[in-house]
């Protein structure tokens, strides 16, 4: 198995209400946070001072996109009347080709509302992650 190295950023913070330490790692190339970990302050202190294998809880996100380049585009999506969430998802599917994924919250967002050639709709942001050579 070949190992790959990636540039990234680490953020460590303390969340006051439950007094836990939160650690997140962001991939610099794709801009995604792909690991979020949470641990008790005493366990974090032990790990920080060299006592390995301390307990934590963690979540992984979009690990298939790590090391890829984020591409963003905005497209006008015609949208006349009220639709259910399922209808919105179905409507956006025709735009979600070649790896593009719509930011579904743009539909219904007043700030994204637009009119093109007399047709009402929304300017929807689409994102995809692609392999690109440096």
Range of the domain at 38: 8-65
Residues 16 and 45 grouped into a single domain:
yes
Domain limit, last residue, from 24, 50, 65: 65
Sites in the chain below the pLDDT cut of 50: none
Quick one: pLDDT at residue 23?
Answer: 96
Quick one: pLDDT at residue 86?
Answer: 78
Distance between CA atoms of residues 99 and 53, nearest Å: 38
pLDDT tens per residue, range 62-78: 888 999 999 999 999 98
Quick one: pLDDT at residue 26?
Answer: 96
Question: Domain for residue 3, yes or no?
Answer: no
Residues 108, 112, 114, CA angle at the centre, nearest 5°?
100
* Token digits of residue 77: 């999506």
Domain count, the chain: 2
Residues 87 and 116 grouped into a single domain:
yes
Residues 44 and 84 grouped into a single domain:
no
Question: Domain for residue 47, yes or no?
Answer: yes
Residues 27 and 73 grouped into a single domain:
no
Distance between CA atoms of residues 65 and 71, nearest Å: 12
Distance between CA atoms of residues 124 and 26, nearest Å: 25
Question: Domain for residue 1, yes or no?
Answer: no
**The pTM is what?**
0.73
Quick one: pLDDT at residue 82?
Answer: 65
Residues 102 and 117 grouped into a single domain:
yes
Question: Domain for residue 109, yes or no?
Answer: yes
Residues 36, 10, 66, CA angle at the centre, nearest 5°?
70
Question: Domain for residue 2, yes or no?
Answer: no
Question: Domain for residue 12, yes or no?
Answer: yes
């Amino acid at each position: 198995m070949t190992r790959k190295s990636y540039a990234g950023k680490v953020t460590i913070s303390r969340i006051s209400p439950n007094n836990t330490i939160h650690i997140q790692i962001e991939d610099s190339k794709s801009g995604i946070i792909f690991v979020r970990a949470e641990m008790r302050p005493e366990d974090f202190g032990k790990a920080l001072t060299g006592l390995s294998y301390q307990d934590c809880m963690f979540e992984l996100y979009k690990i298939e996109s790590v090391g890829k380049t984020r591409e963003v585009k905005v497209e006008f999506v015609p949208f006349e009347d009220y639709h259910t969430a399922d209808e919105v998802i179905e409507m956006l599917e025709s735009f979600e080709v070649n790896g593009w994924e719509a930011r579904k919250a743009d539909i219904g967002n007043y700030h994204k509302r637009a009119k093109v050639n007399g047709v009402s709709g929304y300017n929807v942001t689409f994102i995809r992650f692609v392999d690109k050579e440096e």
